[in-house]
A and B are shown apart, each in its own frame.
Chain A
Amino acid sequence: MSIENNVLVKLNNVGLKQNQKWLVQGVSLQVEKGKIVTLIGPNGSGKSTTAKIALGFYKNIEGNVEKYTSNIGYVPQKISIDWTLPLRVNDLMLLTENLSDEVINESLTLTGVKHLKDKSLANLSGGEFQRVLLARAISKKPDLLVLDEPVQGVDFTGEIELYELIKELSLKLNCGILLISHDLHTVMSATDHVVCLNGHVCCCGSPSEVAKNSEYKALFGEQASQTLAIYEHKHDHVHTTDGEIKKK
């Protein structure tokens, strides 16, 4: 376990019940400075809910959340801007913080969308909008970044670039990142700690540990666990579907 003052947010056995149904239950995890924690899991497994619990959205949760910072940058999963509200990229950048022009330019340059600064948000493509949202979240140099599928709709090369940027930021700003992603490839290559959710914590650990876990395979299929092979050695054993390990 880490030194207490490096921990930014810590979830102790949290759960949330809505309409007599548990959305998530028994989740424990912590995000530390300079570390990336990634939540993976199928649709409806409670990834976004867990992130929102960590952000303190819900009042009646089971368990408790310890938060050690209030300087948070957030990229929500879904955001829709009403056309009745005329908003340029620059206005969105200033939404929660008064930033200097310099800082805004710098952040937009990092995510590759500085040329869109004076454009109306209504005219951006999905991928461009995602890049702007990411720029906004990092512009205030947060201690904790919560990114809910931050690269959805971004083109393939952009996706790799942005994940590299996220990783770089965690080191440069020394901020902790709670990341939700569907992209197992990137998750496995750029993460310090993986939490695999399916209503509860299926398994967690370093990417290589998780990839070996049988529950992870049951959730994502044999194919998914192969993704790690690209980055790592070949395994000397195989997992059967019932969780047995057989030596080759």
Chain B
Amino acid sequence: MLDDFFIRALVAGIGIAFVAGPLGCFVVWRRLSYFGDTLAHSALLGVTIAYSLEFNIAVSIFLISSVIALILIQLQRKTNLPSDALLGLLAHSSLAVGLVVIGFLTFIRFDIMGLLFGDILAVNKKDLFIIWFGGALILITLKIIWKPLFASTVNYELAEAEGLNPDRAKAVFTVLLAAIIAISIKLVGVLLITGMLIIPTAMARNLSDNPQKMVIFAIIGGLLSVFIGLFSSLEFNTPSGPSIIAAALVLFIFSLLKVKQTIQLKN
């Protein structure tokens, strides 16, 4: 069954949606969408390193993204620049360096479009293993740090005062973000991973009144986006990443109708 490229893409997408839902909720709650973007941009550099050193792509991306996250934390401590400027600096410089390095590696043929926007044909059986195994690890870790991470998202001082160690939870969460970027780059692409994290979550926000519901709706939204996106990618021969994100956008627009209804009810 897994010999069919479409089935492989679908299985990969389902795995990613399950992980992206809960992580995406925290990205939105903690206002980290631009941070996620920065990590994703740096992933391209990870890809080039993987190719030039003949290293596993997912592992390489994971390492580079983690390093970029660490550099960011250091820069935040040591400079007076605002966070968004630092994020922009890292995002664009790492993307630029990644593309420059690709220019030098003339002996390897790169599918730049595939790297940037995902490629439905690119997912092989090994990737499936990385997505499902890595995804399970991410979810288990998130479950372990859920309480301190969630409490500190609501109020940092409360979590710290009551002994939950929010700094450790934050550091672990950063690593998890790097990890999901690493496992989903082949299907969704560098430029659109953050969309996979936040658009289904934004849709879920419109439909839920408590955090658990929001996580569940974000997962459902992600799954629907993957199904609709991949089928249309196959049908219309469009790149897989943009198709999935476009499907997520349509779902988000539908969810706005519900918001409108609630507002009307309130009046």
Whether B158 and A79, one on each chain, are in contact in the complex, defined by CB atoms closer than 8 angstroms, is yes
- Residues of A within 8 Å of B88, CB to CB, are none
- Residues of A within 8 Å of B238, CB to CB, are none
Bound-state CA distance A72–B158 (Å) is 10
Query: How many residues on the A side are at the interface (Cβ–Cβ under 8 A)?
Result: 24
Bound-state CA distance A87–B154 (Å) is 9
Bound-state CA distance A120–B209 (Å) is 7
Bound-state CA distance A85–B161 (Å) is 21
Query: Mostly helix, strand, loop or mixed at chain A's interface?
Result: loop
> CB of B205 within 8 A of chain A?
yes
| Cβ contact of A52, chosen from B157, B159, B209, B214, cutoff 8 A | B157
Bound-state CA distance A56–B29 (Å) is 26
Q: Interface readout for A51-82 with B: 1 if CB under 8 Å, 0 if not?
A: 01001110000000000001011101001011
> CB of A91 within 8 A of chain B?
yes
- Residues of A within 8 Å of B153, CB to CB, are 85
> CB of B141 within 8 A of chain A?
no
Nearest to B25 among chain A residues (CB) is A85
Given the interface pairs A95-B151, A96-B151, the reply to whether A87 lies near B210 with Cβ below 8 Å is yes
Whether A86 and B210, one on each chain, are in contact in the complex, defined by CB atoms closer than 8 angstroms, is yes
> CB of B208 within 8 A of chain A?
yes
> CB of B28 within 8 A of chain A?
yes
Whether B29 and A84, one on each chain, are in contact in the complex, defined by CB atoms closer than 8 angstroms, is yes
Whether B28 and A84, one on each chain, are in contact in the complex, defined by CB atoms closer than 8 angstroms, is yes
- Residues of B within 8 Å of A146, CB to CB, are 161
> CB of B34 within 8 A of chain A?
no
- Residues of B within 8 Å of A86, CB to CB, are 205, 208-211, 213-214
- Residues of B within 8 Å of A87, CB to CB, are 154, 210-211
Min CB gap B26→A, angstroms:
10
Bound-state CA distance A52–B157 (Å) is 9
> CB of A92 within 8 A of chain B?
yes
- Residues of B within 8 Å of A79, CB to CB, are 155, 158
Whether B160 and A85, one on each chain, are in contact in the complex, defined by CB atoms closer than 8 angstroms, is no
> CB of B150 within 8 A of chain A?
yes
Bound-state CA distance A38–B62 (Å) is 50
| Cβ contact of A74, chosen from B162, B209, B210, B213, cutoff 8 A | B162
> CB of A33 within 8 A of chain B?
no
Min CB gap B141→A, angstroms:
19
Bound-state CA distance A91–B215 (Å) is 14
A residues within 8 Å of B by Cβ?
Answer: 52, 55-57, 70, 72-74, 76, 79, 81-82, 84-88, 91-92, 95-97, 120, 146
CB-defined A-B contacts under 8 Å, sample of 6:
A57-B157, A72-B162, A82-B29, A84-B29, A86-B205, A95-B150
Q: Nearest 6 pairs between A and B by C-beta?
A: A74-B161, A96-B162, A55-B161, A85-B29, A95-B151, A70-B163
